[in-house]
Chains A and B, each alone.
Chain A
């Protein structure tokens, strides 16, 4: 089955700096890569995703990049703010149409220092 590795496990940045979280996946058939943010004591929530036919996607201060050849994808957060502090999960899935079984990475705890 699919295996997703995520690095680093913890990340501390100064407010205003950028943060980068990297993930690799094992199954070349994976075609959908969502990212989830989980604030302390709360549920994971989808923040951005990318599909295999796209190399990069941006949403305000958040961007994701995908390298299908190398089977890795990354989350970039620019101009970090204290409210960005959370655990971030990458995920990979295979499928089309309806349901897509998702495999999650182990998470990155991001701390933004004011």
Chain B
């Protein structure tokens, strides 16, 4: 589906390793969001950007998490070092205005063993 492309789709890594999740939104969207989804907590907003600038990172759980958006077409979410409790599906999303709402990427399923 066009709009937001995430990679990788699945990631399995060992505890302590660095993990980088990638998001490529279609240009033209001013807002980009990173969400984490787990069974226990549902959809949690981690951070969002406006015009490539981080606006609200209050949802980032710990200093181990960091996000960047070097340009309007690319963003990364990094976890260093990773822990088993970071296992979740991570979604990137853009806001397409009041009519279309959010468009989510396909998500990255992260498993930390």
A residues within 8 Å of B by Cβ? 32, 34, 36, 42-46, 49, 89, 98-102, 104-107
Contact = CB atoms under 8 A, between A and B. Distances in A.
Given A44-B102, A46-B100, A49-B101, 6 more contacts: A42-B106, A89-B42, A98-B31, A99-B31, A102-B102, A104-B42
Given A43-B91, A98-B30, A99-B31, A106 B42 contact: yes
A46 B43 CA distance: 14
Contact of B101 (A34, A42, A43, A98): A34
Nearest to A35: B101
Nearest to A44: B104
Given A42-B106, A49-B101, A99 B50 contact: yes
Contacts of A46: 100-102
Given A43-B104, A43-B106, A43-B107, A105 B42 contact: yes
